[in-house]
Structure 1
């Protein structure tokens, strides 16, 4: 290995952020919030959530933390762009390789998570 895992994690995160911002009409964080609200997912691991909520509210896509009709339409349109982006990012990576990588990262995170 030429570089440690931390390097590759940070490098990939930076590339994902930059590439996704270019592929979407919103930031990566705004997409994560929009998608999380749509699917009732947890956003605790992410920074910058409140700023994204504020921007989505200003766009008229959220009101009171819930999707508006415009927000649902935007989510539907953006979902196709995200699917294309994910296919590009996953090119040459098998489903088994992806799952193994996620499993390793999950276990590493669990090893470093303290409970008190």
Structure 2
């Protein structure tokens, strides 16, 4: 049975937005040979994850701790990461990549006001708390 967009529940939209976000950011980062998780690891190492370790910052996205090495290993091999710290090359790479990621974020939120965005995040945060 077909459901119109107006009848689809929040869970459907959450899954759809998550899928589309993953795909779009993977495309943006692919030219640089990176995955979205590697981008997130670089951000965590740069301290953009409020003092969390890379493992803590990526825990919602990785099903097993062993997967972390698959994310950070290539960054270490490129000379961008040492343990939890960005190297100078990693800092330069993160800065260059940030321009692409910010442009993609603007495309994703086009037509959404700051107020609408903050309201949406706030509602989702409360729903997550209710479920926890």
**Structure 1 length-normalised TM:** 0.89
Aligned length: 113
Superposition pairs of residues 54-93 of structure 1, within 5 angstroms: 54-93=73-112
Over 3 Å off, 4+ runs: none
Residue 47 of structure 1: aligned partner: 62
Residue 8 of structure 1: aligned partner: 13
Q: Measure, in 2, the Cα distance between the counterparts of 1:85 and 1:9.
A: 19
Superposition pairs of residues 25-40 of structure 1, within 5 angstroms: 25=32, 26-40=34-48
Q: Measure, in 2, the Cα distance between the counterparts of 1:66 and 1:46.
A: 20
**Structure 2 length-normalised TM:** 0.79
Structure 1 or 2, whichever has the larger Rg, is 2
Residue 118 of structure 2: aligned partner: 99
Structure 2 gap segments, 5+ residues each? 1-5
Deviations 1:7-28 (A, max 9, x none): 1111111111111111122111
Structure 1 gap segments, 5+ residues each? none
